[in-house]
Structure 1
């Protein structure tokens, strides 16, 4: 009996010991999952805000932070108000398509009468949008544009030529959605009497087909239009539809840049819409004003750059007098500029050796804009208000970490979401000057669990590259780190244009896995080299026409720097990356074969000729113009150099970075008689998830690291 008790005591001790470690089982069981606040939206009165809760959409008071009941009861995936807040659009059911697009079933509830209307007779639609007067909802079904009158229920079909893989009305094609960052390609005028939309003719765009294996006897196929670098894109045109006569009028853009029409934007004026357009070479954008009464198009101004313009995320905000704010990198950093309604520059609003990273709004009473910036260092993001007339600025968020804001409509309050690399997300209510009103939600319990399991804080450092830049980096050292001991180094990076992985913010992605690896005796590090963002346009755009060249040089330089530190075993350096990061890892294991012992590349691009036109040509131009920029920076060209242990991973149904990339690289390695490991995930897309996929994937990668590094 005593022996049995002793055995139980020993077992309990081992259990307790195991509880002091971060494990994959804990990570994927949700044990460390944090808490958030979903769907924060200010009401028009500026005194209340809404959030999505278990029982419905709840209304809270900014002043008291107390709940005042539910606006709507029930379960919804998302919601959107009409401009006057008389009606609310509720997403009841959805099916994903690509990164942003999805099919949805929607209801519209009249908040005054309580009446509920089903959109499109309960059938799936895409991108519904209230008219500004709240009497109609436009939507897209089967590539055609419609609107439904909310009083009569009548559905009017605006276009009739929509056809899968051929004609799309008011909706982005695959490459527009992926690279310009949104699916909706139409907009109502402010007075609700017209819609301007983009028509895309993708009939000549080459088609990609992906086998779907499933559990059927014969695999099925997924087919869609995917323009690869240098190939044909959709032919786009801008169309004006007026509700009063039911006619569609093509807008004449022949005098302007018109190859791409990434953005359709509502202005503050009743009969206006603004289009942002560019040529195939994305180094200039026209900002065009459309008169929706006459169809006349006027150029406000052209934004130019000797390399490229990020047309996927423009800052364009129209103020009440129809003047507008515009984001530009023209002085070397991303800042805001103020134009009058006719496109004449009034002044540069923000200045300094830092960047505006987000724009939240304008308070006409105080003449202040609210922005997120890097003014407290490139690894931090803070929130400030700036007077557009005198330039006076006031910091209203924490001075460190990653801070974002959701403002009340009158700007008297905001909910600040903040985190650091050492502290998970906290949600606090503040007044317009940044004074704390109340903490709404913290994640102290999440942090305590991690600390109990020996969570180790990142250290931030800088590392020199051969060009003389100081590159931002973080490092995680094992607990009880001994500077006299040599540790294996496992490097992670992404490295894509304008990206950032070295940030003073909480990471709900790979961070816990890295913590687990550190507990197993590895030093984990991440370096943001040339091409990454938030350190100015020069640092970001030096990679132009040579995507991959300087990025891999910097990763190799960083690995060598680490290898020269007394605590790193330079013979045991590995790298991991996904997507662009997988591309970099593939280069590291070939061009950097003498430095890296092991690498894991997930869903990598292996030749930019295989990737989409908009993204790739933005940084490289076309393969016809710049063949060396494509081929000389492709890991397939250096397959003969592979020396270390290499694991290549890809989902067979990746609609973004096609499985073809890994197949081509595999063939190059095979023909050079190189041994490597390969893992294909059946029917998984670029994210490689679903069911037990992620736990299996991360266990496989963990085992590979333990065995080979």
Structure 2
């Protein structure tokens, strides 16, 4: 019996230590509940008067984070915020011009906050939920939304006025109009034959005429029919109200995901998203003219290029393409202090974004800026759907600001609405994030990647452009929250091998940052976490690819390599800050301890490198994004001594998709792979993501067929592991079920599948993470080292 136990121990250790190499890490250790790593701050914000920094924290290892604070008068003390204090905190809202008062809602009740007196006052509680309060130009009047209508509240007089009368459904018709031909004939005959009935009807008509003459005029009512009302806004001068009308597609068909582990004991269906190509909702913008007491729609037909067809139609010469007005999605208008209106409008095919001046009197649009992208419009600050991204007015009521990828990188622009002059305030080959105006409107505060694509720093710049002054200095990522008085920066900072911690710094160039939290557990700090080496290599098309590499020691080096493919597609992971893929980061430390070289590539389509990189996968996912992985392998073979017969690949979601394409189409390069929660057929994914990159399957089938792994399954030569949660509501379990049947029909036997009955797209249970990554490690040990 002892010999059997000894043999099992030898086999177990061989699997986990990669033939003699050992690590202080194990899959079981790194895949535990993340609380073992320590306690790290998140969701940092300032108190209303700037005396406290609030953040989520969990030093007591509770089931979830709680709210904590640090007072700037005592930076050494971290205090848990009591429930009573937390409830009393002033929520997000809107300030008046001099920021002396703020209005907001809490639980549907309207409040005001006096910043000078540090005092809150309840203004209105009406039984129905109040939302979106805003000051009108006369700051004694507040407008708010309730029950899909706009109301005003006069603070001094305490008077409430209803400005709109919007109702769902159709306008009721008069009863006489509803009579059938037969009923109308019978009524006419009866009144002609019977004198008493005729006299009574005449009296009714006289009474009705009298009531109509003396009756107060009814307010104008707008009936929305089946359309849903959203995004009601009032102009600062109180003369116009804009709102969206949304018509949902009656043909929309959702998909269902069966849950075999529902608490009821029955198999239940989770109602999830539709598949790509489902008809999107129609969105219109309406204007209510208060003085004229009428509603009219915004006219989008005059937008330049509204009928343009996409370039890909030339690939389908036999199909008839009609040039017609494309449907669009208007975002909320932005109003100047003088009630001028600008609006961000996107075409639903996402090839165009217009910024236009809206004539509130007529509903007509004048285009100020058109950004056209034959791939799709996106990028930092560009906005999507109802979100208008970075967009607003400068105080001069003449200049607007917005972000655009016109230069190839997302930058901050000013545009003079009177002259049409457009100025790029931040030119260069880097991207801009989250610009905001200073309190005095004389400066911009913004974050950029100017130093390096893998770093983020905070800057200050004159409002009309000029020198950008760098206010942060710590290498990595600096997520800054500016104090209300703009005297201090609260900085959430991390580096490649150092999780997020909170710092404070004076708003001065040469001031030093002071660390306020130190959350790493002693167990986590006991291991020397690797700082991955940032490398670049040349892709086959001449482009420069960024990656980070985990190198084993010379003694541990085994000549094998693992390529990690991050998920999401548009996501950056070859950077210098703590990764959201922290489990994978720890797994890569384990792999390198065991002798593997790991390369984590920001392949084509990743965030952080501008428009051309972002759209490099247009109409062919599994094209350049896959060849970038192959070029990464060639870099390792040429520069790191990797054996070309010992290369594996793995990743989740989009990374799982690339893993499948790699094993099916590049089987001479990749000898095994683990595809986790993978898309196997893009025609079965969602509309918002997929239609941007591949258009719609019935319009552009070429793009779908060359981008979907299920069409290339016959190319599998190496060993494949597929792992998938059975209640995945993002990439449905159906994806791997269909691919499994395809592999069975092809007679492939070099694959296996691990299923996780209680897991959605993002795993939750440590036991699931542990099982999955033990299988991945076993796969690489058995296929790359034996």
Q: CA 1:158–1:689 in structure 2 vs 1: closer, same or farther (change >3 Å)?
A: farther
Residues 390 and 435 in structure 2, CA contact (< 8 A), matched pair in contact too: no
Q: CA deviation at 1:146?
A: 8.7
Q: Decide which of 259, 275, 293 is 1:212's aligned counterpart.
A: 259
Residue 673 of structure 1 is matched in structure 2 by 747
Q: CA deviation at 1:417?
A: 2.0
Q: Decide which of 310, 328, 331 is 2:407's aligned counterpart.
A: 331
The whole-number CA distance in structure 2 between the counterparts of 1:698 and 1:245 is 66
Q: CA deviation at 1:363?
A: 2.5
Q: TM-score, normalised by structure 2?
A: 0.72
Q: CA deviation at 1:377?
A: 1.4
Residues 143 and 234 in structure 2, CA contact (< 8 A), matched pair in contact too: no
Q: TM-score, normalised by structure 1?
A: 0.79
For residues 215-262 of structure 1, give each alpha carbon's deviation from its aligned partner in whole angstroms, at most 9, with x where no partner exists.
435433333552514x42222222346799997654333434562316
Residue 648 of structure 1 is matched in structure 2 by 722
Mean CA deviation greater in 518-527 or 258-267: 258-267
The whole-number CA distance in structure 2 between the counterparts of 1:533 and 1:687 is 21
Q: CA 1:160–1:649 in structure 2 vs 1: closer, same or farther (change >3 Å)?
A: farther
Residue 193 of structure 2 is matched in structure 1 by none
Residue 486 of structure 1 is matched in structure 2 by 558
Residue 677 of structure 2 is matched in structure 1 by 603
Mean CA deviation greater in 435-444 or 612-621: 435-444
Residue pairs, 1:57-136, within 5 angstroms:
73=84, 80-84=91-95, 86=102, 89=105, 112=119, 129-132=132-135
The whole-number CA distance in structure 1 between the counterparts of 2:302 and 2:755 is 49
Whether 1:377 aligns to 2:377 is: no
Residue pairs, 1:493-642, within 5 angstroms:
493-494=565-566, 498-509=570-581, 510-642=584-716
Q: CA deviation at 1:641?
A: 0.9
Residues 28 and 770 in structure 2, CA contact (< 8 A), matched pair in contact too: yes
The whole-number CA distance in structure 2 between the counterparts of 1:569 and 1:677 is 25
Helix, strand or coil: the match of 2:332? strand
Helix, strand or coil: the match of 1:350? coil
Residue 160 of structure 1 is matched in structure 2 by 168
Mean CA deviation greater in 377-386 or 614-623: 614-623
Q: CA deviation at 1:130?
A: 3.6
The whole-number CA distance in structure 1 between the counterparts of 2:74 and 2:572 is 37
Q: Decide which of 248, 257, 261 is 1:201's aligned counterpart.
A: 248
Extract unaligned runs of 5+ from structure 1: 1-17, 91-104, 172-184
Whether 1:239 aligns to 2:290 is: no
Residue 309 of structure 2 is matched in structure 1 by none
The whole-number CA distance in structure 1 between the counterparts of 2:229 and 2:401 is 25
The whole-number CA distance in structure 2 between the counterparts of 1:42 and 1:267 is 28
Q: CA 1:167–1:655 in structure 2 vs 1: closer, same or farther (change >3 Å)?
A: farther
Helix, strand or coil: the match of 2:669? coil
The whole-number CA distance in structure 1 between the counterparts of 2:516 and 2:671 is 44
Residues 194 and 292 in structure 1, CA contact (< 8 A), matched pair in contact too: no
Q: CA 1:652–1:62 in structure 2 vs 1: closer, same or farther (change >3 Å)?
A: same
Q: CA deviation at 1:647?
A: 1.6
The whole-number CA distance in structure 1 between the counterparts of 2:456 and 2:337 is 33
- Which protein is bigger by CA-based radius of gyration? 2
Residue 397 of structure 1 is matched in structure 2 by 472
Residues 275 and 683 in structure 2, CA contact (< 8 A), matched pair in contact too: no
Mean CA deviation greater in 317-326 or 240-249: 240-249
Q: CA deviation at 1:170?
A: 5.5
Q: Decide which of 264, 278, 296 is 2:332's aligned counterpart.
A: 264
Q: Decide which of 8, 15, 25 is 1:21's aligned counterpart.
A: 25
Helix, strand or coil: the match of 1:584? helix
Residues 205 and 225 in structure 1, CA contact (< 8 A), matched pair in contact too: no
Q: CA deviation at 1:351?
A: 1.0
Q: CA 1:218–1:266 in structure 2 vs 1: closer, same or farther (change >3 Å)?
A: same
Q: CA deviation at 1:502?
A: 0.4
Residues 208 and 223 in structure 1, CA contact (< 8 A), matched pair in contact too: yes
The whole-number CA distance in structure 1 between the counterparts of 2:539 and 2:126 is 57
Helix, strand or coil: the match of 1:582? helix
For residues 402-461 of structure 1, give each alpha carbon's deviation from its aligned partner in whole angstroms, at most 9, with x where no partner exists.
122112344333222222213322322223334446625343634x64341232221111
Residues 428 and 438 in structure 1, CA contact (< 8 A), matched pair in contact too: yes
Residues 51 and 71 in structure 2, CA contact (< 8 A), matched pair in contact too: yes
Residues 486 and 566 in structure 1, CA contact (< 8 A), matched pair in contact too: no
Residues 446 and 458 in structure 2, CA contact (< 8 A), matched pair in contact too: yes
The whole-number CA distance in structure 2 between the counterparts of 1:227 and 1:269 is 43
Q: CA 1:702–1:368 in structure 2 vs 1: closer, same or farther (change >3 Å)?
A: same
Residues 273 and 289 in structure 1, CA contact (< 8 A), matched pair in contact too: yes
Q: CA deviation at 1:40?
A: 0.5
The whole-number CA distance in structure 1 between the counterparts of 2:768 and 2:69 is 38
Residue 394 of structure 2 is matched in structure 1 by 319
Residue 214 of structure 2 is matched in structure 1 by none
Residues 575 and 598 in structure 1, CA contact (< 8 A), matched pair in contact too: yes
Q: How many matched pairs?
A: 650
For residues 160-199 of structure 1, give each alpha carbon's deviation from its aligned partner in whole angstroms, at most 9, with x where no partner exists.
359xxx967356xxxxxxxxxxxxx565655677452352
Residue 427 of structure 2 is matched in structure 1 by 351
Residue 459 of structure 1 is matched in structure 2 by 533
Whether 1:476 aligns to 2:575 is: no
The whole-number CA distance in structure 2 between the counterparts of 1:596 and 1:363 is 52
Q: CA deviation at 1:588?
A: 0.9
Q: CA 1:669–1:27 in structure 2 vs 1: closer, same or farther (change >3 Å)?
A: closer
Residues 46 and 412 in structure 1, CA contact (< 8 A), matched pair in contact too: no
Q: CA 1:640–1:68 in structure 2 vs 1: closer, same or farther (change >3 Å)?
A: closer
Whether 1:169 aligns to 2:228 is: yes
Q: CA deviation at 1:593?
A: 1.4
Residues 589 and 643 in structure 1, CA contact (< 8 A), matched pair in contact too: yes
Q: CA deviation at 1:292?
A: 5.3
Residues 274 and 686 in structure 2, CA contact (< 8 A), matched pair in contact too: yes
Q: CA deviation at 1:535?
A: 2.5
Residues 572 and 606 in structure 2, CA contact (< 8 A), matched pair in contact too: yes
Whether 1:662 aligns to 2:736 is: yes
Residues 147 and 157 in structure 1, CA contact (< 8 A), matched pair in contact too: no
Residues 495 and 528 in structure 1, CA contact (< 8 A), matched pair in contact too: no
- More strand by percentage: 1
Q: CA deviation at 1:552?
A: 0.5
Q: CA 1:68–1:209 in structure 2 vs 1: closer, same or farther (change >3 Å)?
A: closer
The whole-number CA distance in structure 1 between the counterparts of 2:90 and 2:653 is 32
Q: CA 1:464–1:437 in structure 2 vs 1: closer, same or farther (change >3 Å)?
A: closer
